[in-house]
Amino acid sequence: MSFSKDSLVEQEPDITKEDETPQKEIKINLKGLLYDLLFYAVLVFICIYILPNYVIQRTIVDGSSMEDTLMDGDNLYVEKISYRLDMLDRFDIIVFYPKGRDNEEYYVKRIIGMPGETIQIINGEIYINGEILVENYGKDPITDPGRAAFPITLGEDEYFVMGDNRKRSKDSRDIDVGNVSKENIGGKVIFRITPLSRFGVID
């Protein structure tokens, strides 16, 4: 059998295509693998660093200062956006670091006084800018006004906080805690995870 010159030329491109196809598939697979690795690396970074530091974090109540709203050992979710955007309101429950963020010790208390306000406690009543604050969060009457026996005017980035268990709470009435600056706030308590019998949104 004889072959013409034209038939030999036609067969060469077919051989080249067969050799190149596996190489293209390998390149495509490697590219897809790199994209997958990059995606999961970003996802892990978000879950490990971004979420707990800037969005939401789990924390545990230690002590009885917030009874009966929060109990010792309650597992909570704390969101970290409200205070950064100046969206905290009176009566919000916050986590803060009384000795600064460099210290791991944190407190969980309720906001009573807002930035710029003047707070004073007289005969067990909380006065905000000279007017009695209407609230029903306190477990017991206030018997110790602490430093709030005299008017306390808050700075532009300061909050006055108290525990709901007024007799057992070390809070802004105490000179060792004082006013809470925005830079020392860790977040706002929004949800209780456990115990399951008290599972739900925090008021």
Tell me 103's DSSP state: S
Q: How many CB atoms lie within 10 A of CB 54?
A: 13
Q: Is 109 a catalytic residue?
A: yes
Instruction: Specify the length of the chain in residues.
Output: 203
Q: Give CA–CA dist 106/184, Å, rounded.
A: 9
Q: Among residues 2, 27, 109, 169, which one is catalytic? A: 109
Edge-first strand listing for the sheet containing 152-153: 131-132, 125-128, 118-122, 152-153
Could you identify the residue written with the tokens 């977040």? 187
Q: Give CA–CA dist 162/96, Å, rounded.
A: 12
Q: Among residues 5, 7, 65, 99, which one is catalytic? A: 65
Token digits of residue 4: 């013409």
Burial of 28 (0-12, 13-18, 19+ CB in 10 A): exposed
Q: Is 27 a catalytic residue?
A: no
Could you identify the residue written with the tokens 């970290």? 80
Token digits of residue 105: 């010790």
Hey, which residues are catalytic here?
A: 65, 109
